[in-house]
Copies of this chain bind each other. A is one copy, B any other.
Amino acid sequence: MANQLSLSIDRSSPVPLYHQVVQGIEAAIHSGVLEPGSRLDNEIDLAAQLNLSRPTMRKAMDELVRSGLLVRKRGVGTQVVSSQVRRPLELSSLFDDLSNNGKKPTTDVLSFSHVEADAATLTALQLPAGSKVYHFTRLRKVGGKPLALMENWVRDDITSMDEAQLSSEGLYSILRRGGVNFRLASQRIGAMIANDYQAPLLEAEVGSALVTMERTAVDDTGRMVETGHHVYRADSYSFEMTLVQR
C-alpha cells in the first residue's frame, strides 16, 4: 500500500510544517493522485518519508480528518474518503464566496445610517445603552440578478465606514482592513415567504420561498462586531456544509 505521495517540505518557509503537509495531501486528493478509498501509509512511515516527527504528521492528519477528507481507524489505517464532499461552511462573507468562484457580485446600498442602537441590537452586540452603530441595508446581485437582501448592524468603535465603501466591497473585507480578526460566528438558517418589501427588490413573486440567515460575528478579543439578518432567493442559493463525527 505504499502510496508515494511525493510531497516536498520546505523547512525554510514560514508556513508551519504540518500545514504544508495538509496542503500537500489536499492537493493530492483534489488532483486525483490519492483516490477515494485508497489507504495511506501509516503515520510513522509517512513521518519518516518526509523527515518529520510523528506528532507533526499527526497534527496534519488531524486537520484533514476534521475537515472530512480522511478517515482513521485504530488498528487499520487511514483512508481517503470521497473527494466530492464539499468543504465545510466557512467564516466568510457572501461577497468573498462569490468573488472566489469567479463571479462578479455588485452591491446596491439601499440605506445607510449611523444611529443609536435599538434594544435588540444592544443585546445582540452586547453594547451598553446609548451606543451608536452603523445600520445599513444592501442588495447583492450577481450578473445583474438579485440574490440577497441584507440588513446589518455594526459597532462603530472599531473602524469607520461609509456608503461608498460598502458598494464597492464586502463588509468583511472592510472590517478586516479595519483591524478586526474574526474568530467565530453563530448563525441560524431558516426559511420564510417573500413579503411586499422583499419581493420587488429581489425581483421575485410575493409568497416565493426565501432562505433566511441571522448571524452574529465575534472577533479575537471576544467583542461582538456585527450582527445581520439576510434573506436569499431560495431558487438561487442554499447552504452547503460537511459535518464530521468526532
Contact = CB atoms under 8 A, between A and B. Distances in A.
Copies assembled: 2
A65 to B, nearest CB: 9
Interface in A155-198: 181-193
A149 interface: no
Contacts of A242: 184-187
Given A81-B184, A81-B222, A240-B188, A91 B208 contact: no
Given A82-B218, A185-B242, A211 B191 contact: yes
Interface size class of A (residues with CB under 8 A): 35 or more
Interface of A: 36-37, 55, 66, 68, 71, 73, 79-82, 85-86, 89-91, 126, 181-193, 207-212, 218, 220-222, 224, 234, 237-245
A-B pairs, 8 with minimum CB distance: A191-B191, A190-B238, A191-B234, A191-B209, A191-B211, A68-B184, A91-B243, A189-B239
